[in-house]
Amino acid sequence: MSTNKNALIRYKVLDSCFRNPGKRYFINSLIEECEKVLAEIDPKTKGISRRQIFDDISFMESSEGWSIDLERLKDGKKVFYRYKDLSFSINNMPLNEVEINQLNDAVDILSQFKGMPQFDWISEMIPKLRQGINSFGPETKLMEFESNEFLKGKDHLGTLYNALKHKTPLKISYQPYQNEVPYKLIFHPYYLKQYNGRWFLFGYSAMNGKSDWNLAIDRILELEDFSIPFKENTEINWVEYFEDIIGVTKPEGQPIQKIVLYFFGKTGRYIESKPIHGSQKSKWIDPETLEVRLEVIANYELERLILSYGESVLVQSPSSLKKKIYSRIEASLGMQGKNLQ
């Protein structure tokens, strides 16, 4: 049985050839048809061997495949292939073991997206798919995406996504962490972004006249559609907006800075393989020290990221960032000192 990624494509091509009464398909003809279809999908596809096609035919004839009833008809010394019943097609057959296993894998991956606004349909579809698949053994989970199923406000994602899609203003009850009571605002939503396990909604509100005001969705208490004309976004390209920052906070009027960090030991090797930002340029200045250069706007998320690496990172420049990190560490030490007394 063939297990490579193009197997099902070849089976469907062969199926089409076997039920075609207008042409005789010899082994070389079958190879040509498969290669033609595969080349359209991936021009770099390598050729298919005769042995591969014979293995494909054997699998299609087996009970693990579709138990096809295939005739081998002679034309001189050559043999061509055709279904005994030309109305037969594997497309009309129940799922075989290969298709069931592949569908199971697909369902496992899709199930990780439950809660994402553009995948609302998955919550209803997954049970139906599970019920329709006759598993050949116990389910084993092999893959999991990072998500926080307990995140407050996650149930708002579907409504927010639809408001973005249909350009619908929203009336929102919002309570930042520093506020003891919530306040209401009219918001024109433009963009949703996830960072560090949380979702943020960007848009315009007349309260501050900014088109890039962001709201953490876990601080949204209530929201509903609001019937006023939608204010279009004519100022911001959202893909470019986040290129110069880490996270979601873009301090107003702050320039891009050249930031130099030193990471030590295993942390350096980790940062080299998983860059902090797209602008990252790194080099080893000695066997245990990785120099990392970034060109970003210094913000709260950058500071928190640096602090998260503790003694494994050192800020070389700029001096303004060095002072901020130092003052945060000093304040933390002060708190720890009080706790020890």
Encode pLDDT of 152-208 as tens digits: 777 788 788 888 888 999 999 999 888 889 999 999 999 999 888 888 999 999 887
What average pLDDT does this structure show over 299-306?
A: 94
Reported as type and span, the H/E element at residue 41 is helix 27-41
Q: Which residue has the tokens 């942390």?
A: 267
Confidence at residue 2, expressed as pLDDT on a 0 to 100 scale: 41
Sign of CA dihedral 231, 234, 240, 245: negative
Confidence of residue 136 (pLDDT cuts 50, 70, 90): very low
pLDDT average, residue stretch 262-285? 94
Find all residues with CB under 8 Å of 85, minimum gap 6, and list them.
Answer: 69
Q: 191 is written with which tokens?
A: 């963009």
Task: Give the pair of three-digit tokens for residue 158.
Answer: 């579907």
Between these two residues, 71 and 142, which has the higher pLDDT value? 71
Give the pLDDT confidence score for residue 40 in this predicted structure: 86
Residue among 26, 14, 117 nearest 59 (CA): 14
Q: Which tens digit of pLDDT belongs to each residue from 66-100? A: 889 999 999 988 999 999 999 999 888 766 666 66
User: H helices of 111-156, where?
Assistant: 121-132
Segment 23-34 mean pLDDT: 94
Say if residue 241's pLDDT is above 50: yes
Place of tokens 């030590």: 264
Q: Which residue, among 83, 85, 78, 96, has the nearest Cα to 2 in the 3D structure?
A: 96
Share of the chain above pLDDT 90, in %: 52
- For residue 114, the tally of other CB atoms under 10 A from its CB is 14
In the chain the domains, ranked by start, together with CATH numbers, are 7-93 (1.10.10.10), 98-132 (no CATH), 154-241 (2.30.30), 257-340 (3.30.70)
Beta bridge partners of 25: 81
Phi-psi region of 253 (alpha: psi -120 to 50; beta: other; left: phi over 0): left
Crossing angle of helices 300-308/319-340, nearest 10°? 60
pTM (two decimals): 0.59
With contact defined as beta carbons under 8 Å apart, do 340 and 332 qualify? no
User: In degrees rounded to 5, what are phi and psi of residue 75?
Assistant: -135, 90
Span 141-161, average pLDDT = 71
Print burial letters for 146-178: b (CB count within 10 Å at least 16), e (below 16). Answer: eeeeebebbebbbbbbebbeeebbbebebeeee
Higher pLDDT, 335 or 331: 331
- Per DSSP, the three-state class of 202 is strand
Which residue has 């962490």 as its token pair?
Answer: 177
Provide the mean pLDDT of the chain. Answer: 84
CB 95 within 8 A of CB 103: yes
Q: What is the rounded distance in angstroms from the CA atom of residue 214 to the CA atom of residue 9?
A: 46
Asked if residue 19 has pLDDT above 50, the reply is yes
Instruction: Tell which residue, 281, 269, 251, has the closest CA to residue 312.
Output: 269
pLDDT given at position 336: 73
H/E stretch holding 166 reads helix 157-166
